[in-house]
A and B are shown apart, each in its own frame.
Chain A
Amino acid sequence: MSFKKYLWISVIFHGGLLLFVLFGPGLSNLFPREKKVTWIKLSKGTGEFNNASPYKKTTNMPKNTLREQKNIKEKTKDKTGSDKKSAQGVKKKPQPSAQKKKKQTSTPIKKAPEDKAIEDALARVQEELKQRQVDLEAAQVEKEGGGQSPEGSVDVTNGETNPEIVMYVTTLKKKINDEWVTLPKANAEGTSLVTVISFQIDAQGAIVTTQVETQSGDVTFDLLAQRAIERAAPFPSPPDIIREEALSEGFSIEFNPRSVVDTGTQ
Chain B
Amino acid sequence: MIKRAGRPRPYEKYMKKIILFLFIVLLPALAHAKIYIVIDEVSTKKFPIAIPALQTLDGGHNELTENVTTLLRKDMRLAGIFRVLDEASYLEKDRGLENIDFSKWKAIEAYALVKGIVEPKGGGKALVELRLYDTETEQLLVGKQYLVFSKDYPVAVHKFTDELMLALTGVKGPFNSRVVAACGRSNARQIYTFAMDGTEKSILTKTKSNNISPNWAPDGSRVAFTSFNNFYPEIFTVGVDGKGFKPLTRNAATNLTPAFSPNGSQIAFASSKSGDTELYLMDLSGKISNQLTKTYNIDVSSAWSPDGSQIVFASERAGNLHLFVMDVASGSVSRLTYTGYQNDQPDWSPDGRKIIFTARDRGAFDLFVMNADGSLIQRITRDEGNNESPTWSPDGRYIVFSSGRRGGSGIYVSMADGDNQTLIPGTESCVNPDWGPRLQ
Interface residues of A (CB under 8 A from B): 5-6, 8-9, 12-13, 16, 19-20, 23-25, 28, 35-42, 44-45, 55, 58-67, 70, 72, 137-144, 146, 148, 151, 160, 165, 169, 172-173, 176-177, 180-191, 198, 219-220, 223-224, 242, 244-246, 248-265
Contacts and interface: CB of A to CB of B under 8 A. Distances in A.
Q: Which of A39, A140, A182 has the most CB of B within 10 A?
A: A140
Interface in B337-376: 337-340, 351, 353, 359, 361, 366, 368-371, 373-376
* Residue of B136, B170, B335 most packed against chain A (CB within 10 A): B170
Given A25-B28, A65-B381, A253 B339 contact: no
A244 B380 CA distance: 49
Interface stretch (B8-16, B209-217, B293-301, B422-430): B8-16
B376 A180 contact: no
B382 interface: yes
B439 interface: no
Given A60-B339, A245-B35, A251-B36, 20 more contacts: A20-B22, A37-B36, A40-B35, A40-B37, A41-B38, A58-B339, A60-B340, A61-B366, A62-B379, A67-B380, A139-B340, A140-B338, A140-B339, A143-B371, A160-B35, A188-B169, A219-B137, A220-B136, A256-B39, A258-B42
Contact of A188 (B170, B338, B379, B418): B170
Contacts of B75: none
A131 B136 CA distance: 32
B376 A252 contact: no
A258 B34 CA distance: 24
Contacts, number: 246
B368 A55 contact: no
Given A65-B382, A148-B375, A260-B41, A254 B417 contact: no
Contacts of A70: 44, 417, 419
Contacts of B373: 143, 146, 148
Contact of A64 (B32, B369, B379): B379
A16 B45 contact: no
Contact of A224 (B39, B111, B168): B111
A253 B35 CA distance: 8
Contacts of A242: 33, 35
Contacts of B232: none
Nearest to B29: A23
B377 interface: yes
B40 interface: yes
A138 B417 CA distance: 13
B377 to A, nearest CB: 4
Contacts of A246: 35
B327 interface: no
A16 B376 CA distance: 64
B353 to A, nearest CB: 6
Residue with the greatest number of chain A CB neighbours at <10 A, chosen from B25, B35, B335:
B35
B134 interface: yes
A259 B42 CA distance: 6
A140 B373 CA distance: 10
A146 B375 CA distance: 9
A156 to B, nearest CB: 13
Contacts of B378: 62, 66, 137-138, 264
B339 A61 contact: yes
B148 to A, nearest CB: 27
Interface of B: 9-11, 14-15, 18, 21-22, 25-26, 28-29, 31-48, 81-82, 111, 134, 136-137, 165, 168-171, 335, 337-340, 351, 353, 359, 361, 366, 368-371, 373-382, 416-419
Nearest to A22: B29
Q: Which 5 A-B pairs have the closest CB atoms?
A: A264-B376, A66-B417, A23-B29, A139-B377, A188-B170
Most central of B37, B416, B418 by chain A CB within 10 Å: B37
B376 A72 contact: no
Contact of A24 (B29, B38, B111): B29
B374 A184 contact: no
Contacts of A220: 111, 134, 136-137
A242 to B, nearest CB: 7
Contacts of B46: 181
B45 A180 contact: yes
Most buried by A among B38, B337, B366, B417: B38
Contacts of B165: 184
> Which of A41, A137, A184, A251 is the most central at the interface, judged by chain B CB atoms within 10 Å of its CB?
A184
Contact of A182 (B22, B34, B43): B43
A180 B39 contact: yes
A224 B328 CA distance: 48
A62 B375 contact: no
Nearest to A4: B1
A227 B77 CA distance: 24
Contact of A151 (B10, B168, B335, B376): B376
B43 A140 contact: no
Contacts of B43: 177, 180-182, 186-187, 257
B170 A139 contact: no
5 contacts: A66-B417, A139-B339, A181-B47, A223-B136, A224-B111
A114 to B, nearest CB: 19
Contacts of A254: 36-40
A62 B377 contact: yes
Nearest to A71: B44
A16 B39 contact: no
